[in-house]
Structure 1
Amino acid sequence: MTTDHPMTNNQSREFVLVVDDNPTNLSLLRQVLKEAGFQVRLAEDGKSAIEQVERALPILILLDVQMPVMDGFETCTRLKDNPKTRDIPVIFMTALSDISNKLKGLSLGAVDYITKPFEQQEVLARVMVHWRMHKLTQKLQHLTETLEEQVAERTASLQQAQIRLVQQEKLSTLGELVAGVAHEMNNPISCLVNNIPEAKEHISTLLQALALYQSEVKQPSALLQQSLEDLDLEFVAEDLPNLLGSMHLSTDRIKEISLALRTFSRIDNTSKIPFDLHQGLDSTLLILQHRLKALGKRPAIQVIKQYGVLPLVECYPGQINQVFMNLFANAIDALEEANQQLGIEENRENPNCITITTSLKDQQMVEIHIADSGIGMSEDIRSRIFDHSFTTKGIGKGTGLGLAIAHQIVVEKHQGHIDVYSQLGRGTTFVLTLPIHGQFG
């Protein structure tokens, strides 16, 4: 069967509306069209035709020109003025053969003319032409809608691919950079750590030798005596162990930073591994320590840790650490923006605070709340915060991908959830929910 004939592709909703005040014409046209496979509805004047069209839209209207109550020209004008009916093809039927009437009808939006008295084959041929055009228009509309859907899906797919590429590139570049720095730091740190105890012993030996020398030499020369007083050996002997102790504490601190860098930049395997989320949080905060200190009008940012007892979580540690980094960086930005809007005294009265709360949920999930006391956000911004390329920062201050990447890591890579709660002037809280046992690893 072919699909270009109404008999083979008839739908109950598709019909031709015939409008004529002559019952004989209505009967004849109905018979011709029904034999050709069309469903037909009839109207005896323009007013009833418009009422029928308002209830159901025909695929084609055969419209008589000369009718009582409302003639064909006025009926056509009303149909074309209505956005819902303006695209329905109208074929005028008339015994008026002068060119002016035909031009008037065509100018009102009619697509064709049928001259009375009817020739059945002509009527059917003209109706078939416009029926096929209707079908072609339907197909084109469907193809257009399908193409628009495909374009939208493709665009979304490309955007997701862009986020993944940016995420992978950032993780790779940052991981290599931080791992390289940690590796380069390792040798000099090890040298200092190993040599400070030896230096302590050597200095202790020298101080003992000096004390022994002083006890043996009872009468030093005037020059030696003056030199010893100028050097203030007693102060040196007392202060030098303190200096070495401070150096030892500093090397321990550098070791902690180096360990935090290695923890933060650890390269993820192809499968998820058990990871201590608290270790990830702490290492990320240590790297951001410089941003937590007082800056200009902004006082130091206090970090409050309310850690619960958590099991190891199966995840990609490097990716989870990147999520922590993005959320902490956004919290610090929000606090800095809030402080810029306040005076120095107001800043002192409104302490900057980031609160981290972790807990076990339903024995299957863990929750991490990261809350700041910053400026908060409007509902419009909150609803778009995870959209790609959406950012409230100025030009050159961010790509807008940070939170979109965080959302993708948590939701797609770890089958978790990330939610945000915020009110203007009342701060913002991000809530991460992660399964303890990773899936699809």
Structure 2
Amino acid sequence: MNLFNIQEKNKNNMANLEKSKILVVDDKPENLDVLIDYLDKFGLTIFVARNGEEAIQLATKIMPDIILLDVIMPGIDGFQTCHHLKENENTREIPVIFMTALSDKKVKGFKVGGVDYVTKPLQHEEVLARIRAHITIRFQQKKLEKQNEDLLQLNQEKNDFLGMVSHDLKNPLNNILGIADLLNSSIQDKERKLLRLIEANSKRMLELITELLDINRIESGKRDLSLQKIELTALLFESVYRHRMPAEKKQIQLHFEQTDKNCYLYADRTAITQIFDNLISNAVKYSPFDKHINIRLFQSEKVVRCEIQDEGQGITKQDQQKIFAKFARLSARPTDGENSTGLGLSIVKKLVESMDGHVWAESEGKNKGSLFIVEFPR
């Protein structure tokens, strides 16, 4: 750090100090006068309370940046006063520095919420140094809290904008697909090829928009889950059946294995269906021609477990670190030109975790196949 930066830092610290309000609590005026005169020289605004009850009332009113609190006072002592301050939501975060001549009371001060202590007789330079240190910490905490609030607000605005734009794009795309379907039966082969290109790209955009809307609803807490007792075997079988045609197109065989006839779980039916569909679709997309995909369902007293294992391109160690991230760029690619939005696995993870489940992927490496596992507690 160069001399200019040091000077700027010291200047900022002094500026923070001059804006600060200090509440000094002591029942003996002779202990306060010299200290107050000393602190006043540095531009601090000093408030005085003579006992614990007065300190609690005054702190709530003025909201000081630091409280210097004597331990031994009539009525409620410093420890009780600090306890009351920490129980109050409005004064809980105000740093309390104890002033005490009793060395054995230091630990108790920390236990009731104090952040520091100075020993009596007071060394004024030490008191100022500790005040400055804790004001700086407090200032940085407030700054970080404000930055965090701003980031949360920006993220919410981004989600709102994304939801609005995606929703507004979805209807025109549906119209394009509807018109393309009507025209398809009344045009020549050359135009039909162009129309199919329009239709394929429109479907690709619609899939991306649908998943953007979906993940936006999940992240913003707008997707409500309806937990009910559902039978997973039938749901998983239906999902396997829905993917039979794209699998057959690539000569991929889907095998569904189950250990028990019925497998029940309290979960959201729509979310579970979407999880199964995304994982099986992903396995089909990334599997080469003429391979096998095994889908297994197990249950025990504590968990329900679904496994989807393919013979595809596998997952590199680097990709395993980011495979469930949004828009992750992975080394593997769909094997027959299928569309991939980069959001499917991220949606799976968020849906699984929203129902207290866990999902992960295992692979021995590139071209060694992949195993996706989903577990839910029972």
TM-score by length of 1: 0.40
Asked which structure has the greater CA Rg, the reply is 1
TM-score by length of 2: 0.46
